[in-house]
Structure 1
């Protein structure tokens, strides 16, 4: 990474080279197209999850609903601000407060999504093999609703507390995403290690082993008990989890594994180029997440056809004002006769 400046007669323009070969204008258009498609898909999936009573009552869908809401927030804040820097090479609002808010949202949303997917990998075991744990309202509160609430509030409280901490007077660079800002708390080796374990390693372990063990347990139970009905009953939950975790296997786990290997002694130059690109394409965890949920909606083709069929009926049944006005004299003559 390097920073250079291009001087003219009146101004000095800083150009930040992050080491990625993709030009900034290309990143802008890639992100713009991806964000629009993802936003539309996110609204579509979230609409069905919220307004379809069967989907809304499913406990396994609640974590997906929360993540979809987080994706919407991300796509309306973090992504447009990043696109603005790529297009104009300057931060949208050049103040320390804005930079801190941007960093707070990015840290909170990204880590919360990973933690929620990690919890979903564990919760599926409870919903499939220990459904008696959520058989009453009290049990559902402690086993289901309380962990979801804690995960969301944890990110908000922790990053809302540490992000404004700038006792070391860290500077803000208004031509770099997030203004190149991060809290001075990360100067502490202990906190950095804690953050890496809780937000990286722990989530990776839960997602990797949780989803893999779930499939193995289901297969073993199906062979042992020969319960075809139970497999059909829980198949949707399993496929939903696998479609989501497959996204994290590709885009989330490899950078964590590489970072862990480097902390254990692997030279930092090994995989350095991959680490740069993985930070850029980490946005596609959010962009692609709604599409992984879309594939798990039951009777998807029928739902899409109904939307277009309803829209077509509204257009054909609509009476334009000029058409109504042309019919008034006819009706009046008929009444007079």
Structure 2
């Protein structure tokens, strides 16, 4: 092994260690704050969750799932110095599908929340003129589509 190869390995090792440290430094507070928010709504049953906040709550749940189930996989990769465990084709394929699905779900949910906020602020009269059933469908159907479409798309 030449000197260049050794220095490259050391550089990768330092980079992996730094990435691992950064991820763990942000993952722990993220999990703690999410649990605090869930506990708040669980203990305070009198706190109403308004219809226009359901989409934000769904985004919070998806982000919590991503931080607790998806983020440990790259963290383990960085902790092991760039080695995937278990190093099987099935695991790598599943990991890619899972990560892409969660990332796209997060993106779609943020897009829908932006559109929903726009409708609530600039077109509130339009929403008031809709019946309660249509308003509920306008809030629930896009959330369900945002949650179902990406995993199905990446399966195909």
Which region of structure 1 is more displaced relative to structure 2, 89-98 or 50-59?
50-59
Q: Sort the Cα spacing of 1:61 and 1:74 in 2 relative to 1 into closer, same or farther, 3 A.
A: same
The structure 2 residue matched to 1:149, chosen from 127, 144, 147, is: 144
Structure-2 residue corresponding to 1:96: 89
Contact conserved, 1:56 with 1:62, CA < 8 A, in 2? Answer: no
105, 118, 136: which one pairs with 2:111? 118
Q: Encode CA deviations 1:217-272: one digit per residue, 9 max, x unaligned.
A: xxxxxxxxxxxxxxxxxxxxxxxxxxxxxxxxxxxxxxxxxxxxxxxxxxxxxxxx
Give ranges in structure 1 of 5+ residues lacking alignment.
Answer: 7-14, 162-337
Q: Which has the larger radius of gyration?
A: 1
Shift in CA distance, 37/43, structure 1 to aligned 2, threshold 3 Å: same
Alignment of 1:70 with 2:66, yes or no, is no
Residues 105 and 133 of structure 1, relative CA distance in 2, 3 Å threshold: farther
Deviation of residue 132 (structure 1)? 1.3
Query: TM-score scaled by structure 1?
Result: 0.39
- Larger helix percent: 2
Taking a change above 3 Å as real, the CA distance of residues 158 and 144 of structure 1, as seen in their structure-2 partners, is same
Asked if 1:127 corresponds to 2:127, the answer is no
CA contact (8 A) 1:126 1:133 kept: no
CA–CA distance in 1 between the matches of 2:17 and 2:51? 42
Provide closer, same or farther for how the CA distance between residues 107 and 127 of structure 1 changes in structure 2, counting only shifts above 3 A: same
Aligned CA-pair RMSD: 2.7
Q: 1:65 to 1:82 in 2, by over 3 A?
A: same
The offset of 1:39, in angstroms, is 0.6
User: After TM superposition, which residue ranges in structure 1, 4 or more long, deviate above 2 angstroms?
Assistant: 46-57, 125-128
Structure 2: distance between partners of 1:56 and 1:156: 31
Q: Map 1:136-285 onto structure 2 (within 5 A).
A: 136=132, 138-161=133-156
How big is the shift at 1:47? 3.0
Q: 1:147 to 1:87 in 2, by over 3 A?
A: same
Could you say what secondary structure the match of 2:74 adopts? Answer: helix
- The secondary structure found in structure 2 opposite 1:23 is helix
Shift of 1:48: 2.9
TM-aligned CA deviation for residue 134 of structure 1: 5.7
Unpaired stretches in structure 2, ≥5 consecutive residues: none
**3-state SS, counterpart of residue 147 of structure 1:** helix
1:47 is aligned to 39
Count of paired positions = 146
**Hey, what's the Cα distance between the residues in 2 that align with 1:56 and 1:102?**
37
